[in-house]
Amino acid sequence: MSVTVFSQLDKSLHEHLAALERLAATGDEETAAELARAELPRVVAALKALLDEHTPDEHGRCPTCRTNRWSRRLPAPCRAYLGAQLALTATAETPGRRRYLRDPV
Ligand SMILES: [Zn+2]
């Protein structure tokens, strides 16, 4: 894939994610609920697909990450896996947020 094509894809992906963030933060309740139903499953699917690429193999090493083509696989969890996990859990302790995850209605 050429750099230009990748740049365009990367730009449109980031614009899409920015739009989702903006709507989630500033949209009214109805918009937020529709956004969650329509877009959250797609975001989860995308994240799962990425994590699948970085799930440790039988030797406990990431099958995807290497420092270069000839190097050994890196010990898992790799930075990609840890980064995703941190991004998802870092706000878990924020007061008043994510209570729905602990206290199901
Ligand atoms: Zn990895």
Residue 22 has what pLDDT?
A: 95
**How many whole angstroms from 88 Cα to the centroid of ligand 1?**
17
The pLDDT, as a whole number, for residue 46 is 93
Q: What is the DSSP string of 30-85?
A: HHHHHHHHHHHHHHHHHHHHHHHHTS--TTSEEEEEESSTTSPEEESS-HHHHHHH
**From the CA of 62, how far away is ligand 1's center (Å)?**
5
pLDDT digits (tens, 9 = 90+) for 30-54: 999 999 999 999 999 999 999 999 9
Alpha-carbon distance 18 to 12, whole Å? 10
Please give the pLDDT value at position 32: 93
User: Distance, CA 53 to ligand 1 centroid (Å)?
Assistant: 7
Distance 37 CA to ligand 1 centre (A): 29
pTM (two decimals): 0.70
Dist. CA 55 → ligand 1 center (Å): 7
The string of pLDDT tens digits covering residues 54-91 is: 988 888 888 888 766 666 666 678 888 888 888 888 86
Domain extent listing, the chain: 1-29, 39-96
What distance in Å separates the CA atoms of residue 6 and residue 12, rounded to the nearest whole number? 10
